[in-house]
């Protein structure tokens, strides 16, 4: 009624631009200057605090405050209905320090003393979230999380949702946490306009994602802090397994499964998983055990670990279900002993590389490269199945004859796709028909022969970088150049069984 009275029209219940200018500005030049506050790029509108409604000229359009602004003015901030699917407000973050390493806690403590752009990078998304909660907790401030992937899935404009998140963070004195930054990257950098938003923000802001990137075209001086959140190492994985399993039995009188019977050491050794994956696999394993009305055991944990590893490798390779054990292998004692040594090598990797510190001195990855050589039917695939069964890991078979291309460069692209998907699969890779790609390096007669050696080198480099077990199977060991053979850690011959 008040606005209707001021408009001299009781049907008009909201202020227009013209009415606001009449109320706040005296006639004259000042009125024209204040008119600029209602432009599309003016802060009140660019940050979605106010909106204009109506098809009339700007002076006659209705000024509408956003729901978030009204809630904030009334002292009860909440995210707007339109942004609620991707914007989450935590008034009192409660971090879990038990899940962060001492190094990560130290990084958070340092960042909490600054107003920098804090960039969290790596595969461990849950630890990034926990670090953001810890930082807000140390500053005794709320945390406002923007899920960028969800916002873009709902076809929102990146710049708009970032502005809204930064706006609401200022209104509520919250730390803005922009999660899923990878979806905004163009090459190895985000759009310059988003970097400008970060640089113009006067307080600390946290950005998290998996990919590595660097800011370009920074509009003004702004401090960036870069912290890595890689997949937890062996000791941290073992700690997390113990933590989440003990959380299943919070009451002291409840029986806790025996650690040795669960083979937690083997699980932490064989599966390179993030904090979130470890949490989820423990819950999945508990559900599997409950469904069978039995206590949590090794089988459920390893089954869940395989399920929570990257399943997309199955689109590029054939998954083999192990059906054999040691009793099925017919090999001379020396070869069987080498297979057992191979198994022990894999199981002892974390102790040698991490606890003994030798991993820091290796230029290649901590993976294990193996050659199985022998005629068809001598048990190469069977031996790979036994190893997979013993280690509790998935086994994927890649037929190299289908990977090799006659077009220069295509073979490497095909191999790269396989290894990229395999990186988070925690699987054993079994490359069959290696004869399709290997040959004597001395037999270089033309450019294609020379390029074939490039393909071989590329395959061996990727095998060395793969953090797991890779097996090459060949029918003719003589086809492999000795220089390449020296790069393989194990070479096991599979002869025909004697009559």
The helix/strand/coil state of 41 is coil
The CATH number of domain 234-308 is 1.10.8:
yes
Q: Domain boundaries in the chain? A: 2-65, 87-228, 234-308, 315-493
**Given the structure tokens 């990855």, which residue do they identify?**
365
Mean pLDDT, the chain, as a whole number?
85
Identify the CATH homologous superfamily for domain 87-228: P-loop containing nucleotide triphosphate hydrolases (3.40.50.300)
* 134-163: pLDDT as tens digits: 999 999 999 999 999 999 999 888 988 999
One fold for both 234-308 and 315-493? Answer: no
Q: How far apart are alpha carbons 133 and 152 in whole angstroms?
A: 23
Among 133, 449, 481, 425, residue whose Cα is nearest residue 270: 425
8 A C-beta contact, residue 423 and residue 430: no
For position 360, what pLDDT does the model report?
57
Confidence band for 285, pLDDT divided at 50, 70 and 90: very high
Position 446 pLDDT exceeds 60: no
H and E: helices and strands count for the chain? 21, 14
* 160-205: pLDDT as tens digits: 899 999 999 998 999 999 999 998 887 667 788 888 889 889 999 9
Looking at residues 387-394, what average pLDDT do you find? 93
Looking at residues 88-115, what average pLDDT do you find? 92
Percent of the chain scored above 90 by pLDDT?
Answer: 43
For position 219, what pLDDT does the model report?
55
**Given the structure tokens 């729901």, which residue do they identify?**
67
Q: Which of 56-65, 116-125, 209-218 has the highest mean pLDDT?
A: 116-125
Confidence band for 1, pLDDT divided at 50, 70 and 90: low
Q: How far apart are alpha carbons 397 and 25 in whole angstroms?
A: 76
Using the 8-state DSSP alphabet, how is residue 256 labeled?
Answer: P
26: phi > 0 → left, psi -120 to 50 → alpha, else beta; which?
beta
* 289-311: pLDDT as tens digits: 999 999 999 999 999 999 998 77
Using the 8-state DSSP alphabet, how is residue 10 labeled?
Answer: T
8 A C-beta contact, residue 393 and residue 263: no
Angle in degrees, CA 289, 295, 299, rounded to 5: 60
Helix (H) or strand (E) holding 205: strand 205-209
Our measurement of the distance from residue 368's CA atom to the centroid of its chain's CA atoms, rounded to an integer in Å, reads 24
Sheet with 117-121, strands from edge to edge, namely 87-90, 143-147, 175-179, 205-209, 117-121, 224-228
Q: Which fold is adopted by the domain 315-493?
A: Rossmann fold (3.40.50)
Position 441 pLDDT exceeds 50: no
For position 238, what pLDDT does the model report?
94
């Amino acid at each position: 009624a008040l606005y209707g009275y001021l408009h001299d029209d009781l049907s008009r219940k909201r202020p227009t631009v013209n009415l606001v200018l009449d109320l706040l500005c005296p006639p004259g030049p000042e009125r024209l200057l204040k008119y600029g506050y209602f432009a599309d790029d003016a802060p009140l509108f660019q940050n979605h605090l106010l909106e204009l409604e109506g098809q009339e000229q700007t002076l006659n359009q209705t000024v509408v405050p956003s729901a978030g602004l009204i809630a904030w003015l009334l002292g009860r901030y909440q995210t707007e209905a339109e942004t609620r699917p991707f914007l989450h407000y935590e008034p009192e973050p409660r971090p879990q320090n038990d899940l962060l390493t001492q190094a990560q806690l130290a990084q958070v403590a340092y960042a909490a003393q600054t107003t920098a752009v804090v960039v969290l990078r790596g595969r461990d998304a849950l630890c990034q979230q926990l670090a953001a909660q810890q930082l807000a907790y140390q500053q005794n401030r709320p945390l406002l999380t923007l899920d960028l992937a969800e916002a873009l899935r709902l076809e929102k404009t990146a710049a708009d949702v970032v502005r809204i998140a930064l706006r609401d963070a200022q209104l509520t004195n919250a730390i803005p946490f922009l999660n899923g930054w990878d979806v905004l990257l163009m090459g190895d950098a985000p759009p310059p306009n988003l970097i400008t938003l970060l640089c113009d923000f006067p307080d600390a802001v946290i950005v998290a994602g998996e990919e590595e990137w660097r800011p370009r075209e920074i509009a003004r001086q702004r401090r960036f802090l870069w912290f890595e959140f890689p997949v937890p190492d062996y000791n941290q994985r073992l700690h997390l397994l113990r933590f989440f399993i003990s959380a299943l039995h919070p009451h002291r009188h409840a029986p806790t499964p025996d650690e040795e019977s669960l083979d937690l050491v083997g699980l932490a050794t064989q599966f390179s998983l993030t904090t979130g994956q470890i949490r989820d696999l423990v819950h999945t394993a508990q559900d599997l055990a409950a469904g069978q009305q039995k206590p949590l055991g090794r089988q459920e944990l390893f089954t869940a670990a395989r399920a929570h590893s990257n399943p997309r490798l199955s689109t590029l390779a054939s998954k083999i279900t192990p059906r054999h054990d040691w009793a099925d292998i017919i090999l001379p004692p020396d070869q069987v002993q080498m297979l057992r040594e191979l198994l022990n090598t894999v199981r002892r990797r974390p102790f040698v590389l991490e606890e003994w510190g030798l991993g820091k001195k290796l230029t290649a990855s901590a993976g294990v490269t193996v050659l199985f050589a022998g005629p068809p039917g001598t048990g190469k695939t069977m031996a790979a199945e036994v190893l997979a069964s013993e280690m509790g890991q998935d086994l994927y078979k890649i037929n190299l004859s289908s990977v090799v291309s006659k077009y220069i460069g295509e073979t490497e692209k095909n191999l790269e796709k396989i290894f990229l998907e395999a990186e988070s699969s925690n699987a054993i890779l079994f490359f069959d028909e290696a004869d399709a790609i290997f040959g004597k390096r001395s037999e270089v007669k033309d450019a294609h022969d020379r390029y074939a050696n490039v393909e071989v080198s590329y395959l061996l480099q990727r095998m060395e970088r793969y953090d797991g077990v890779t097996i090459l199977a060949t029918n003719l060991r003589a086809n492999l150049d000795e220089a390449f053979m020296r790069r393989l850690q194990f070479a096991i011959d599979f002869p025909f069984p004697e009559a």
